[in-house]
Amino acid sequence: MSHLAPRSQWVAIVLLATLIFAILLARIYRKDRPPSGMPPLPVIVAVQGDIERPGTYVMDGPEVSVTQIIETAGGFRNGLSKGVYGDSVLRKIHNGQLVRVTCSDSGPAEIRVEAMPAAARLTLGEKLNLNNAAEEELLLVPQMKAAFAAAIIDRRSKRQWQRLDELQEIPGIGPKTVGKWRSYLEAKENDEGGEHGARR
């Protein structure tokens, strides 16, 4: 069962879509230009939780660290945390990821890196993984029917998807539909801590 996002979230997604359109135009332009001396494309990441300025940020790419996004967002709220230690400091954040920060007044911050909501990831040009996308996420894909989404989830409970072409095993899905979905879906090995994040 899905529900409509708050109006403010849709406004943010529309603004994000405008930004992504500009980035895609830059990518198309750069394909016709020599790569030497060209700056890397920006990385769009979000940060939430005990941060002074939670939100979505456009960072210099091709990747940024947890420390960089926390500093860009103004640091920990009210100086709650003693800092971030261990691997979390150097962990790289990629396009379409979200950093959740939980602070305490006695120790280091707890950092959780996960994927942005599916609508935002699709707007950014990221793909949903057939092996762990939720049904309501799959339904965001153009021409995706509820019966198809349910069949995708049912099939992966028995056997993971290896290739997008395997979608043609589902009655009603042909090569043309699979071709259209290549911009939105991919089949990657399901890592339980990967798509939805892991505590660091």
Top pLDDT among 168 and 66 is at: 168
Preceding peptide of 62 cis, ω within 30° = yes
- Mean pLDDT is lowest, of 36-40, 124-128, 183-187, for 36-40
Tell me if the pTM is above 0.75. no
For the chain, domain boundaries: 38-119, 127-186
15: left (phi over 0), alpha (psi -120 to 50) or beta: alpha
Residue 2 has a pLDDT of: 46
> Any idea which architecture 127-186 has in CATH?
Orthogonal Bundle (1.10)
Residue range 138-165: average pLDDT? 94
Structure tokens at 97: 């990821």
Residue range 174-192: average pLDDT? 87
197: left (phi over 0), alpha (psi -120 to 50) or beta: left
